[in-house]
Structures are given as C-alpha cells and as structure tokens.
Structure 1
Amino acid sequence: MPTIKSSYLGNLRTTSEHLQSGNSIITDAPVDNNGQGQAFSPTDLVAAALANCMVTIMGIVARRDGMDLDGLEWETTKVMQSDPRKISEIQVEFHWSNAPEDAKFLQKIKNAAKTCPVALSIDPAIKQNIKFNF
C-alpha cells in the first residue's frame, strides 16, 4: 500500500498527501531555480527530514529514559552546489536552554540523533554538519 499520493499542480508546484493521516504538503521550486519560493522546495524537505528525524529519535530515547525534550529548538541550513545542482551540505544547529545537566543522557541523545534513519540514508557525499548547543 502506498504511503504518499502526489500530483503536479502546475507552475513547478506539487502536492503530496500522507495517506494514513490525510495531512498534505505543497512544494514549490525555489526562486533561484525558476520557482516562486512560496513553499518548501523538495531539497528543503530533505534537509528538514534530517533534522526532524534526528529529533524524533532523540525523543524516543528521551521517553524511554523518562525524560522529555521540552524547549528543544533547531535551525536547519541547506547548502546547494551549482554544477550539478544538488545538496552539498546540511547544517543542523540545536538549542536547548533548559537541557538537563545529565551528561550521560545528553551524550546518549546526541549519539541517537546522528544514527537516525534519514542520517544513515543520505548519500555520504552530503556533509552533515550537526551542532548541539547543550
């Protein structure tokens, strides 16, 4: 059974529906690649998938340890190369001002983040620059 159903909307836009939940997203080509830049581009979604997957795995580990990630925030930067046009680097910077002072737990979730399914699936030629500010 498919996970996602998608269609082309025209004008370099697509829509995709997550069939189990009914949630949908729209993508738009970026301005520097003939689009309007009014939604996530497909490559933006790759970068977001990395960071969000990391946090999901961190959350699973935290929950298992009786902790939570309340207050955790992050910024994701996608770096493109031009020839051929592709993602060359994804930078993720985590900020957690109220992180617990448990060094062992913090190291455990950092390790978990770096081994999330998306991190392991991205081509090794794409540099993953991950910074934890906690």
Structure 2
Amino acid sequence: MSILIETNYEGKYRSSTKTPLSEERIAVNAARFNPVDLLASAYGSCILGTIDWEARKEHFETTESKSEITYDMSEDGSKVGKMNIKIFFKNDYTPEQKAVIEAAAKTKCHVGKSLDPAIEKNYEFIYKND
C-alpha cells in the first residue's frame, strides 16, 4: 500500500508537507530547520518505535526513552556522511533485553535500513538515565 506525502515548495527555501497522520502541515525553512534535520528526526522516531515494538514482543517495554542524533555532511557537502546516535533509557535492562534493544536499533528500523549504507553510524546506549 502506497502512502502519499504531499510537499508544496513555497519559494525561498520554504516548503510545507502534509501527511496522512496529521491535519496540520509540517513547515520547513531550510535556512533554520532543513530537510536533513527531518531525516534525522524521522530516524530517531523510527528507532524508538522499533525498539519498543521488539521489546514488547519479548514482554518488556521501553517507554520514556529518548534519542539524540547529530550528523555531519560528507566532505563535499552533498549528502550525510556520519550520524552519531545516542539513545537514553530511564530504566536499566538485563543483558538479554539490552541485546534486543541494540539489535532493534541497529538492524530493524525501516528508516535506518533505507539510509545509504555508506553513512557511518555510531550508536551509544545510555541506560538508567535520570
């Protein structure tokens, strides 16, 4: 099933996007919050949702988690070259649960699997973050 994402370019590096999930349009001003920022945001959201999905299949939850993603553009500035992904959890988990969490983050997220494999990805998992 195809999902329609409609984006209108308004000029001067501004656009707005409508998704089937919201009545409100997402506004982007590339001078302040650019489309690559949206990519990183989508990746962080996907990672957290994927982790929780996999955790629930193993009968535990990862609510109150948070991601922080920084990125660097490639040397020529034409694409993302490197992403540093930090994932924070309010709770601590058993070694088995941590293995589920970390595998989900690194290998099961749809957005992550769609990214260019040449992008260097560094993951850091921080447990029992108060």
Q: Does the alignment reach a TM-score above 0.5?
A: yes
Indicate how the Cα distance of structure 1 residues 108 and 2 shifts in structure 2: closer, same or farther if over 3 A, else same. closer
Equivalence map 1:1-40=2 (5 Å): 2-29=3-30, 35=31, 37=32, 40=33
Question: Is the CA contact (8 Å cut-off) linking 1:3 and 1:20 kept in structure 2?
Answer: no
- Structure-2 residue corresponding to 1:103: 95
- Measured after TM superposition, the shift of residue 85 of structure 1 is 2.6
Q: How many percent of aligned residue pairs carry the same amino acid?
A: 29
- Aligned-partner Cα distance in 2 for 1:124–1:9: 32
- Aligned-partner Cα distance in 2 for 1:63–1:7: 38
- Structure-2 residue corresponding to 1:88: 81
- Aligned-partner Cα distance in 2 for 1:73–1:124: 24
1:113 aligns with one of 105, 114, 120: 105
Question: Is the CA contact (8 Å cut-off) linking 2:52 and 2:63 kept in structure 1?
Answer: no
1:49-70 residue CA offsets vs partner (Å, 9 max, x unmatched): 2222111110101222232212
TM-score (norm 2): 0.84
Question: Is the CA contact (8 Å cut-off) linking 1:80 and 1:86 kept in structure 2?
Answer: yes
- Structure-2 residue corresponding to 1:32: none
Number of aligned pairs?
A: 125
- Structure-1 residue corresponding to 2:120: 127
Residue 58, structure 1, aligned to residue 59, structure 2: no
C-alpha root-mean-square deviation of aligned residues, in Å? 1.8
TM-score (norm 1): 0.82
Indicate how the Cα distance of structure 1 residues 23 and 69 shifts in structure 2: closer, same or farther if over 3 A, else same. farther
Q: Structure 2: which 5+ residue stretches go unaligned?
A: none
